[in-house]
Each structure stands twice: as structure tokens, then as C-alpha cells.
Chain A
Amino acid sequence: MDALKTGLRSLPELFDLQLELKKKREQRENYLAVCGDTGCTAWGSEQVKDLFARCLEEKGLSQSTGLKFTGCLGLCECGPVVIVFPQGIFYQKVKTEDIEEIVEQTLLQGKVVERLLYQDPLSGAKIVHAEEIPFYRKQQRVLLANNWKIDPSSIEDYLALGGYGALGRVLGQMSSEQVIGEIKASRLRGRGGAGFPAGLKWEECSGMPAKQKYIICNADEGDPGAFMDRSLLEGNPHSVLEGLIIGGFAVGASEGIIYIRAEYPTAVQKVRLAIAQAEELGLLGENILGSRFSFKVSVSVGAGAFVCGETSALVESVHGRVGEPRQKPPHLAERGYNNCPTVINNVETLANIPYIINMGAEAYSRIGSGKSGGTKIFSLVGKVHHTGLVEVPLGMPLRKIIFEIGGGIKGGKAFKAVQTGGPSGGCLPASMLDLPTDFDELNAAGSMMGSGGMIVMDEETCMVDLARYFLKFLNDESCGCCFTCREGLSRMLEMVEAITKGQSSMAEFALLKELAAVVRDSTMCGLGQTGANPVLSTIRYFTEEYRAHIEERRCPAGVCRDLISFHINSELCNGCGACRRKCPAGAITGEAKMPHFIRAELCTKCGICLESCPIQAVIKL
């Protein structure tokens, strides 16, 4: 273990250290994994972890049983999640008051605490082990697999599982051409959105004759409703770092930059720690592992701008300037950061690299669909039963992800649409549920893969309102550089807002479609080019809903405020006064124990009465 102090100077030293740490890990296979991701921490998992630590200490178990505060365990809906290893017993919604029981029953007596087990929503059966839960069983977790086993703040945990072995192999046995050849053969496509083949991107940059080159990891995960990159950085930062170093070697860069958005403070902290640990061990710096390759990594924190996910804008932002995209060519592989050849890869793309090197391109490319290899992580959110992170082979049909893994729609409602690809993507209706999740298939259907956000919507979501939401988002985030994006999006927003208010006409609707096409065809960067997608795809699949808003002044989903009204069913109302007391507009009148009424002229349609009525006497029309 001396290497932990002195640093690693050669390949054999790395492999020795890995072996030693692996043995040490095997000697102590009892541990508790407490999910420390944002979702579970919000449910209170930090207190749970602290109390576990204290309880283990008190019972004299702290030597024999490890405690890991891990990254995302996936099933955010059931947080805080605790998994007891080596058995893999899955406990959900664990509160501080349950801890003594878990320690007493499970750790000391080897029994299972029934009431904390996961219950299958369909069969009602209790499930003991994590891997038997349908949510996990139907996934193929490659990148996320180690999240269960790793404390993200410990490089030793990563090394014990063979971490940095791929880097060792690359530096010891491979040339940069061989690495690129391997990535090309794996059919890995960029996971950031556009899906450009990663190997080709590296090849292009590697072929540039330049002394100084850069590789940037794009962790500016701006898509609202997506958190895969955050979870990877927070749950297994060393895997991304290892991918970045290998990438640097392949393209001939001596410097790497990880660009993280400011909204992810924990990820910034974890990545900074990982870099410091790698530097200390000699996995970053001069002559890594005794090779001739030197590489350093820095972190650049964004300041909140969606457009900075666009590569040329991102480079501007790393420079510290206003993040406006520029015309391409010259491509970044030619002129990027500091005017040097630069390659930019998404977090998930880089996290795939060590796995490809380890398992070999051929085995990797067998996972996934025809044109693209590997798995993809989706953040499955919205009105679905099991919100969380899912990792599946590319090409798995939407239906399987939403219904078999996600457990279907919450509250017994009907499925209406799924939105993929964030603000640049589109909405797909029930008839498209058998579409495989593949870059090309989704594009052809008018949506896109994007970075992997998957927002499920039920019958209570209005598609026109959703189009308005995305337009508002993009309008706020447009950098204003291109006229058609700046003005086009704001005019489109006005038009869609008019539709949600019932103040539009079919003639204006036609104009909206025309304008959407103009914006798509005449802007410079991806934000504008795809900015019309949410409107175009909802028009394509949900024209009837637009018609209802325009011609009948009716919002079928009951969302658009100007087109709905609230009423109290006087036959049901018992006059308890709950709604009257809660109504912020003072629009509800009525005597105690007598039916109440809503005064339409005062009602602001906030819906608080509907929420607060204990007997569901308030109706929305």
C-alpha cells in the first residue's frame, strides 16, 4: 500500500495496488450502500447515513461492516434507498427511526425487515433483493453498475474494482491509432445529443498537426429534466476522468478541461476531489505511470446558460467570455480552445471509454442496436411510476422502458406522450411506443435522442402548454445572435400563448407552422435549428388538441387557465370551509356546513381549492 503515499511510477505498481486493494475489499464484503445523490439527500439520506455510522459504532460493527455514501442508486422515487451487501437487500424510504431495526435485525441476526422492502405495484409482492426488482432486472447497467459499489470520494474503491486498468493498458500496450481504432470499432456515438461517432471525432482531432491540443468534457447538462451526467460525475467521477485521460492520449492533447454547470455544486466538488486524488497517485501529471504521456486536468464552472452546451459557445464560455456560438467551419478540431485543435465529449461518452477498452470493442458493439453500440442512460421522469435513472441497451423500445422498467403511469391515468431530447427534442404519442430508442429512429420520428431526458406525460398534460413551456425556455436561453432565432422564437411564443388563451385562429396556426420551419432552416447553431422541434412535433402528433384550443376554445387536458373554470358540486359539498380558508383570491363564499360557491369573476384558477377539498367536491371544467 506504499504506492498510495508515494504515487504510482510504473504499470506494475498500478496493477499491484489494484490487486492489493481488491484483496482488502474481499476481506470485508459486508457494507451498507446509502444513496447520497441529490434525490435521496432531499429525502433525508444524509441523516440516515450519519445515524448508521453512529449505530454501527455503538454495536461494535464499524470494523466488520463498511458504510458507503454512494452516488445515485437509480430508483429515486423510493428514496432514501439503502442496500445491504453482500446479500443485496434493498430497503426503500428508510427513515432515521428505522436504522436501529436494520442494524439489529439484518446486520446482527441476518433477518429481513419486511416493512421496508420494495413492493411490486402490479403483483403486490414484496421483493427482497435489488436485482430482482423489475426496475433493475430489465436494465442493463454497465456505466451505473459500479455506483452501488463505490464511495465516489474514494479512489481506492475505484481502483479495487479494476479502475484505471484501462488507462494502464492504453499507456502500456497501445498506440493512439489503436485506441481510436478500438473506439471506432465499438460504434460508440456521442451521448451529448447529436450522436456523432466518437471515434471519428477523435480521429479528426488526432490528425491535426499542432503542438498543443485540448480535450474538454462537456458537463453542461442544461436539458431540463435530465440528470444522467450529474449522477455519473457524482457517483463515479473517476470513470469519467479515466475516459478523459485516455481521450487525451488518443488525440494527443496535453490538457483536459471539465466544464460543469454551476447548478451542480456537488458534482463540482466531487470532480475536484477526484482530480486531486488522481494527481496525488500520479495518474495525472508528468509521465503518467512511467510513460511519455503527460496530462493535466482543470475544472471550469459554467455560470448558467443553456446555449453553452453548444460546443463553440462552450469554448467561448471556458475562455470566460459571453457564450455565443460561432460559425463553423473552422471546426473545433481545427480551431477551438486557445485557437488550438480541441475535441469536446459528453460526460457519458467519456464514461464509456474505460469499459470499451476493458471489454474490447467487439463485445461492446454487440450491446445495442444496428448502428450504435452500447447502453444509454435515460432519466425517466414525469408522470411515471418509477422516476429515476435507467440504463438500457440502445434500441430498446420506448414501451419497454416506460411500462416495464418505469412501471407505467402514475395514479392509473392513461399514457399520452413521451418527450425525449429536451428542448431540442419532440413529443411522441402512444402510437410510437414501439419505436426503438436509437439515434436515427428518433430523428426520423421528429424527436431526437438528445442527452437522454425522457419525460412521460399522462392525459392531464396539455401538449400546447408544453410547446409553450419549451418555447419560453428557448426564448429565454437564445443568445440573440441570429435574427431568426431571437425574433422567431419570441413571435412563436406569442402565437402559442395566444392559442393557450383561446385567442388564435386557424390562419395564425398556419403561420406558426411556417415560421417554425423558417427558424429551423435559417439559424446558425443547434439551439435555433432544433428550437422548433417541440412545436413541430406536437403539431404533427397532436393537431386535434391545437384545433380544440383554437376552434372550440377548450383545453382537453384542463391545463390552460383561460380555457378552464372551477366549480363546487353543491350536492357533494358539506361546507367544511377548507377551500374557503385556503383560497388566495378570496373567491369562495359560503356559510359553514352549507354548500360553498366559487365566484368566477374573482377566481384566479390556481387550483388550490381542488387540492385542499377533502371530499373531492371541487371540479375542473
Chain B
Amino acid sequence: MAKVAEELKNGQKETAGQNNVSLVALLQEVQERYNYLPEDVLRELAREKNLSLMEMYSVATFYKSFSLQPRGKHKVATCSGTACHVRGSEKVTEELSRVLGIKPGETSQDGAYSLETVNCLGACALAPLVVVDGEYHGNMTAARAAALIKEHLKKSRGLSAAELEQDVEKKAWEGCSCAILLAGNDKK
């Protein structure tokens, strides 16, 4: 962990005598390297570069692209821009949330998946849009998005279709509201 600042591009620039290094740029570099902003790295950086930890925290929490929690290996994002919204993106997000068993902004317990909503990706012709690991999938519906993610889950977790259904059921069971819980109960 030592000398975090020196390992970063901006850190080097600053040691060369510039005092106005952008904290946003610095945190972007940390995030790029670790996939999130680990607390110990931030503490180390604050100490080495004589920055205020409070200021770091306020910048990190102000901007949407920073995360203080580790993010999943696979990133699933739904676009919630206006064009996507009027074509039903909210239902798509909900369904993805149900299948993955996590809410938007969360990461699955095994660290494999994280789900996010983004404001607008500027590909409105494809609304509603789902992005899985940087790959764009357009004209989604709740059902199509579910199928897409189930396919991904099958591959990444090596499950069969039946096992996957069970898994989803279980997740939904653990993480859902009362009404759906009762529904599950009723079926068994």
C-alpha cells in the first residue's frame, strides 16, 4: 500500500511541483485501478499528499461515478434517461433487480454482479437500454432483460436452466417484499 501517490500518474505530476492537482482526477485514477475507492487507499493518499480526508469523502460521495463499496465483477446497468423511461425502463430495472437478487446500487454477495441505473447513455434510439459489461442491448422489455441476464448467469455460474430458476426463486425469496414472499409460500 505504501507510496500510493507515487504509483498514480497525477501523484507524480504533483510531486513535480504542481499544487493544484484535481482531486476528482486523482480519485478517478484510484477507482480505475481498484474498481472502487478502498478506504485504506484513501487514508494512505490523504496522509502522503496532505489532503483532507473529509474533502475526499465529500467529493467521493458527491459524484455518481465513485463508489466506496467494491463493485461486482460483472456490471449490469439500465439506462434511466427520459427516452428509456417513457418506453418502460423502470419495469426493466425492477425485473433485473429481482433476477439478480440485488437492488440498484448494490453488489451481489459473491461479488459477481452489481446493478446500477445511469442517467442517460445517449443511445436513445435503442430505448430501453441495458448494458452488461459494456455491451449495449437495446429495445428491452422486462421479459427480454430477464432472459438476457439469465443467459449470462447460466454461463458465469455454470448453472442449468432449472438450477437457475431455483436460484432466482431463492434470491427473490430472501430479498423481496411481503407480497411476493407470500406468493412464494403459496406455491410451495
Q: Indicate if the CB atoms of A586 and B120 lie closer than 8 Å.
A: no
Q: Indicate if the CB atoms of B142 and A455 lie closer than 8 Å.
A: no
Q: Indicate if the CB atoms of B65 and A303 lie closer than 8 Å.
A: yes
A576 to chain B, nearest CB (A): 15
Which stretch (A133-141, A314-322, A437-445) binds chain B? A314-322
Which stretch (A271-279, A501-509, A539-547, A600-608) binds chain B? A600-608
A8 to chain B, nearest CB (A): 29
B146 to chain A, nearest CB (A): 8
Q: Indicate if the CB atoms of A263 and B119 lie closer than 8 Å.
A: yes
- For residue B68, CB closer than 8 A to chain A, the reply is no
Given the contacts A224-B119, A381-B124, A582-B143, A455 and B91 also touching, CB distance less than 8 Å: no
Q: Indicate if the CB atoms of A455 and B125 lie closer than 8 Å.
A: no
Q: Indicate if the CB atoms of A303 and B28 lie closer than 8 Å.
A: yes
Q: Which of A41, A225, A320, A470 contacts B136 (CB 8 A)?
A: A41
B127 to chain A, nearest CB (A): 7
- For residue A446, CB closer than 8 A to chain B, the reply is no
- For residue B80, CB closer than 8 A to chain A, the reply is yes
Which stretch (B17-25, B41-49, B151-159) binds chain A? B17-25
A485 to chain B, nearest CB (A): 15
Q: Indicate if the CB atoms of B91 and A606 lie closer than 8 Å.
A: yes
**Which of B86, B183, B186 has its CB near the most chain A CB atoms (within 10 A)?**
B86
A557 to chain B, nearest CB (A): 10
B54 to chain A, nearest CB (A): 11
Closest A residue by C-beta to B117 = A476
Complex Cα distance A422/B124, Å? Answer: 13
Task: Give how many A residues have a beta carbon under 8 Å from the other chain's beta carbons.
Answer: 65
Given the contacts A39-B126, A303-B28, A586-B183, A225 and B22 also touching, CB distance less than 8 Å: no
Q: Indicate if the CB atoms of B22 and A604 lie closer than 8 Å.
A: no
Given the contacts A224-B82, A455-B86, A304 and B142 also touching, CB distance less than 8 Å: no
- For residue A453, CB closer than 8 A to chain B, the reply is yes
- For residue A290, CB closer than 8 A to chain B, the reply is no
Complex Cα distance A509/B103, Å? Answer: 32
Q: Which residues of chain A (122-171) have a CB below 8 Å from chain B?
A: none
Q: CB-defined interface of A27-41 with B at 8 Å, one 1/0 digit per residue?
A: 000000000001101
- Report chain A residues within 8 Å CB of B66: 303-304
Q: Indicate if the CB atoms of A38 and B121 lie closer than 8 Å.
A: yes
Q: Which of B62, B64, B82 contacts A422 (CB 8 A)?
A: B82
Closest B residue by C-beta to A587 = B183
- Report chain A residues within 8 Å CB of B27: 303
Q: Indicate if the CB atoms of B91 and A383 lie closer than 8 Å.
A: no
Given the contacts A473-B119, A606-B94, A612 and B64 also touching, CB distance less than 8 Å: no
- For residue B87, CB closer than 8 A to chain A, the reply is yes
Closest A residue by C-beta to B180 = A585
Closest B residue by C-beta to A602 = B183
Complex Cα distance A129/B121, Å? Answer: 30
Q: CB-defined interface of B158-188 with A at 8 Å, one 1/0 digit per residue?
A: 0000000000000010000001101110110
Q: Indicate if the CB atoms of B25 and A381 lie closer than 8 Å.
A: no
Q: Indicate if the CB atoms of B183 and A585 lie closer than 8 Å.
A: yes
- For residue A379, CB closer than 8 A to chain B, the reply is yes
Complex Cα distance A263/B131, Å? Answer: 12
- For residue B72, CB closer than 8 A to chain A, the reply is no
Q: Indicate if the CB atoms of A321 and B59 lie closer than 8 Å.
A: yes
- Report chain A residues within 8 Å CB of B179: 585, 601-602, 604
A35 to chain B, nearest CB (A): 11
- For residue A300, CB closer than 8 A to chain B, the reply is yes
**Which of A39, A221, A607 has its CB near the most chain B CB atoms (within 10 A)?**
A39
Q: CB-defined interface of A281-304 with B at 8 Å, one 1/0 digit per residue?
A: 000000000000000000011111
Complex Cα distance A466/B86, Å? Answer: 8
Complex Cα distance A569/B122, Å? Answer: 39
- Report chain B residues within 8 Å CB of A585: 179-180, 183
- Report chain B residues within 8 Å CB of A224: 80-85, 119-120
- For residue A387, CB closer than 8 A to chain B, the reply is yes
**Which of A42, A226, A302 has its CB near the most chain B CB atoms (within 10 A)?**
A42
- Report chain B residues within 8 Å CB of A320: 21-26, 59
- For residue A96, CB closer than 8 A to chain B, the reply is no
Q: A263-B119, A586-B183 are in contact. List 7 more A-B contacts (CB 8 A).
A: A76-B126, A320-B59, A382-B83, A382-B86, A469-B85, A586-B186, A606-B142
